[in-house]
Structure 1
């Protein structure tokens, strides 16, 4: 009976273990940066049908799931903001629907977009595809203007580039690379 499920079980264990291993490495890198106090999180970029296992791997590795599903937090991306006409209108509409207890995050490609989002009541701004230098400067500026806001850095952050993104003022670094393209650890089953 064990042999009937061997490959499926090994594939699942290998996938989760690989993600946990990659996440642990990211956590260790981030903790080695003296002035960085932020969290390492996954993104929603998961394999269809495997979200629960893959997000579990991130948790086991010490990372944060970010959002488990679409209902975990409102995230307004560029298309949402364009479809309503502005960041301001998108945040106001989301707040009127979800109320004051649901967090709203806005994906921003400039510091001006982040300011607009925070001015209208967004809880989190995601500074997307910023260089490490831009992220450091803009996070410092936004924290000075909006001390209670949460700032997330995202977009193309890999294990190799992670250290340069670990800058003061950033509360969360989200990495699709915690789950996507992770090298597999070697796990096997040997009967005695």
Structure 2
């Protein structure tokens, strides 16, 4: 019985998140990988073949990136049959999918598809790991990634975070107004920066302000920030500051607290404080180990 699922009845269909432009990114990857002649393709030709996608490595992993993988081969006239669902955890070695088509086209798409899937699944796996770790500490808030993503590959990386179960955070400079230290120093003050941003951002955008101290947090809250990022404040200081601010402003202003800056698996327990609504970290997508996949063309069966 096949485990392939094409509906969202048992698991979310994350492909529905993707913008209209996503397929052109896949085409650009293929164009980059074969800018002129396909010499290896000349050797294998147009004979029909079947290839197994195998999930390898040394530990459990989360599968993420199915739409991108499938589009690589759809564009090349091949078909993909999935044996796992998006977001499903598997143990190596696992037969994840079967690709069918002309040999040269399977090999044209092989490296592009595998590189993408390895990176996306690695991010999903790490995202789930950090989320599970935080929940194990009793943290009930949001675990989020950051905007420290790879230019040109952001969509895949953010997609991997979502499949892994965490919040992708803002996708770009237009997604949310975030005023960091450089914005504030350049404009003159937290209050002035917030006033200027509200004037152009309107009512529909959340406004987040990065602060370095309790006094700066007070100013940002008083000026009407929606989210206060307590940057590089950690340990007992983070717990004390967030508790005092909650007590001071409860009933006067509505806001969320975000903690960011140097959050790792080693210090996550100290930062997983339920007075903090959001923990954002790049550890879920920067320097993340890739999940090892291979695509093996099967030898024809002899009769």
TM range (shorter): over 0.9
The DSSP-based 3-state class of the residue aligned with 1:184 is coil
Number of residue-to-residue matches in the alignment: 191
In the alignment, is residue 184 of structure 1 matched against residue 290 of structure 2?
Answer: yes
Distance 2:111 2:249 in 1: 51
Question: Residue 76 of structure 1 contacts residue 90 of structure 1 at CA under 8 Å; is this kept in 2?
Answer: yes
Distance 1:62 1:168 in 2: 19
Match of 2:231 in 1: 128
The DSSP-based 3-state class of the residue aligned with 2:129 is helix
The DSSP-based 3-state class of the residue aligned with 2:230 is strand
Deviation of 1:112 (Å) = 0.9
* Equivalent in 253, 265, 274 of residue 168 of structure 1: 274
CA offsets 1:92-143 (integer angstroms, 9 cap, x no match): 1111111222111001111111110000100001011112222111111222
In the alignment, is residue 54 of structure 1 matched against residue 54 of structure 2?
Answer: no
Larger proportion of strand: 2
Question: Residue 19 of structure 1 contacts residue 179 of structure 1 at CA under 8 Å; is this kept in 2?
Answer: yes
In the alignment, is residue 32 of structure 1 matched against residue 117 of structure 2?
Answer: no
Question: Residue 140 of structure 1 contacts residue 168 of structure 1 at CA under 8 Å; is this kept in 2?
Answer: no
* Equivalent in 92, 106, 112 of residue 2 of structure 1: 106
Deviation of 1:63 (Å) = 0.5
Task: Kindly name which structure, 1 or 2, has the bigger radius of gyration based on alpha carbons.
Answer: 2
Larger proportion of helix: 1
What stretches of structure 1 move > 6 A for 4+ residues in a row? Answer: none
In the alignment, is residue 12 of structure 1 matched against residue 123 of structure 2?
Answer: no
In the alignment, is residue 78 of structure 1 matched against residue 181 of structure 2?
Answer: yes
Query: Which TM-score applies when normalising by structure 2?
Result: 0.62
Deviation of 1:19 (Å) = 0.2
Listed as ranges, the gaps of 5+ residues in structure 1 are: none
Listed as ranges, the gaps of 5+ residues in structure 2 are: 1-104, 299-303
- Structure 1 residues 59 and 49, CA, compared in 2 at 3 Å: closer, same or farther? same
* Equivalent in 97, 104, 109 of residue 212 of structure 2: 109
Match of 1:22 in 2: 126
In the alignment, is residue 146 of structure 1 matched against residue 249 of structure 2?
Answer: yes
Query: Which TM-score applies when normalising by structure 1?
Result: 0.96
Question: Residue 118 of structure 2 contacts residue 293 of structure 2 at CA under 8 Å; is this kept in 1?
Answer: yes
